[in-house]
Amino acid sequence: MKELIIIAAAAENNALGINNDLPWHLPDDFKRFKQLTTGHKIIMGRKTLESFPKALPNREHIVITRDHSYVPKFDCTIVHSLEDAVAQIDEGETAFIIGGGEIYKQSLGIATKIELTRVHATVEADTFFPEIPEAHWDLIASESHPKNERHKHAFTYETYIKVTA
């Protein structure tokens, strides 16, 4: 079975980003993202890819775009739908869905797990994380982190698994 994990950081108002950037700087969350995704395929939309200054090391980038003439700024696999992206994942393999907002929304129905960093703030944004339908997802782990000299906002790591009927 393929494991498709949504990984995101979202504020209390589900804000993800503004002007193709993150509205916060959380070094421990970056570290966790790197630890969880390294060695795996990462699926993202074109705007998410374009927000990176360079490719993320030790991860295969799969980028979804409707633009059939799109040329990425670094090496990655280009596909034109979420279904095509998922087809790039082999049985028994784990892949991470890393954004943006529209890709997260499309992925909720097929993902097997959500690793969400809930940032305890309400911030201005132009991109938002979708509501997690409680009937379909169980919160199985939660780990709180207070704000400190390195983190302007408190945050909580939340792990959800898909409820099987």
Sign of CA pseudo-dihedral 2, 95, 37, 9: negative
Q: Is the peptide bond before 100 cis (omega within 30 degrees of 0)?
A: yes
The predicted pLDDT at position 117 comes to: 98
pLDDT exceeds cutoff 80 at 164: no
Domain that holds residue 103: 3-162
- H helices within 21-165, ranges in order? 27-37, 46-50, 82-87, 101-107
Give the number of domains in the chain: 1
Tokens standing for residue 102: 């529209």
What average pLDDT does range 130-158 have in this prediction?
96
Q: What is the pLDDT of residue 70?
A: 96
pLDDT exceeding 90 applies to what percent of the chain? 96
| Cα separations in angstroms, 78 against 44, 84, 154 | 10, 9, 36
Q: What is the reported pTM? A: 0.96
Mean pLDDT of 62-86: 96
Q: For position 97, which CATH number holds?
A: 3.40.430.10
